[in-house]
Chains A and B, each alone.
Chain A
Amino acid sequence: MAERETESGEVFRALLKKSIFLQSRYLSYFSLANYHFAMQSASMETDWAAEHLQTIRTLMERSAVYRRALAPIMVWNGLIGVVGGVAGWKTEHNSARSFIVFWSTAAVLSIIGSFLLVRRQALKESEPFWSPPTRRIAQALLPPLFIGAFLNGFAAYWTWSEGANNSYVAFILILFWLFLYGCAAHSAAFFMTRGMKLFGWIFITAGCAVLLAISMAISKDWQFHFPPHLLMAATFGGLHLAYGIYLYLTEKGKNAS
């Protein structure tokens, strides 16, 4: 009897030992699982919160559109184009070299005037001139404008010794300027009012029209009699002026409302 009790006691103790061992193993397993779960969720939460912050930043950047009044800038550039075109035509700056120098000067005047107008608006509204939207617009405009400036330099160097009345050089340059300016306006439009995209496309279309005219002239051996200065006045001058007037009228309507 006493032997049986001892035996059952031993079995009980052995079972208890085993259960304690199993319990401790399971407990450690569960706590480890809990730890992993906590670490995983912590990592997920970081990702989630970081993603949220990134989304907020992207949306805020997209929302901060360039809101300077474009009408005076457009009118200024339009006037430079029209006055410059007529002046160039009247003063007969017809050699390729003088055409490049003349319009490079006009471009510099146009950029300086535009910057001064933007600065005046920024001062008037007590805002920084070199604000993030202004910086983004400048970055968007820079590559096509740089290519345009490089082409000008290249063409000026190439035609410097020639100095002849080569209207094809002028027309090819106008073609490139139209394409590049159209691309620049279209890129800038991602941070501006949507009308700028259409404005960019109009310049690109005008470039296509000039290209077709040149190719037809070459294939049929025609001579161009249309002064390139007047083409500049019609495209760069006319389009800027028209858009500036349109903006003046629509912005006036908005203010009235």
Chain B
Amino acid sequence: MNPEAFLNLDRVIHEKGRLAIMSMLAATAELSFTELRDALSMTDGNLTTHIRTLQESGYVTVAKSYQNKRPLTTVSLTNQGRKAFADYVDLLEKIVQQTRKLK
């Protein structure tokens, strides 16, 4: 089996928590910090750390605004993030296909 596929997996997205964040953001225009936290059952600190890592890689953008006089933090995928996610999913599919051939 070609090990190159594993080596090419994006390490930033490959982490379980970050993959979950990317998956949720890929299906919608944007999600609030609270929606992400509740949907993924993450702590505030954990989610902040993952979002920061994704932000540093240029995969997500964070916008701060106010809703009903309360601060609202929304997270969305950048074009680069959307492409990286699509590449990641393509690679996973290739791995599944390759290993099924071996069986």
Contacts and interface: CB of A to CB of B under 8 A. Distances in A.
B88 to A, nearest CB: 9
A116 interface: no
Contacts of A38: 1
Interface residues on A, range: 20 to 34
Contact of A43 (B26, B39, B66, B103): B103
Given A59-B24, A65-B28, A42 B72 contact: no
B36 to A, nearest CB: 9
B4 interface: no
Among B23, B93, B103, the one with the most A-chain Cβ atoms within 10 Å of its Cβ is B23
Nearest to A254: B67
B96 A63 contact: no
A88 B68 CA distance: 39
Contacts of A50: 96
Contacts of A42: 1, 99, 102-103
Nearest to B102: A42
B65 A45 contact: no
B28 A49 contact: no
A250 interface: yes
Nearest to B85: A56
A14 interface: no
A257 B102 CA distance: 55
B1 A49 contact: no
Q: Is the interface of B mostly helix, strand, loop or mixed?
A: helix
A250 B25 CA distance: 24
B92 A63 contact: no
B42 interface: no
B95 interface: yes
Q: Is the interface of A mostly helix, strand, loop or mixed?
A: helix
B24 A39 contact: no
A65 B25 CA distance: 11
A42 B98 CA distance: 9
A46 B97 CA distance: 8
Nearest to B36: A63
Contacts of B39: 59, 62-63
A59 B95 contact: no
B20 interface: yes
Given A53-B89, A56-B19, A61 B96 contact: no
A60 B65 contact: no
Interface in A228-257: 250, 253-254, 257
B68 A46 contact: no
B66 A257 contact: yes
Interface string B77-103: 000000000000100110110011011
A24 interface: no
B27 interface: yes
List 9 A-B pairs, minimum CB-CB distance, nearest first.
A59-B23, A60-B27, A63-B24, A46-B99, A63-B27, A64-B27, A49-B95, A56-B23, A257-B66
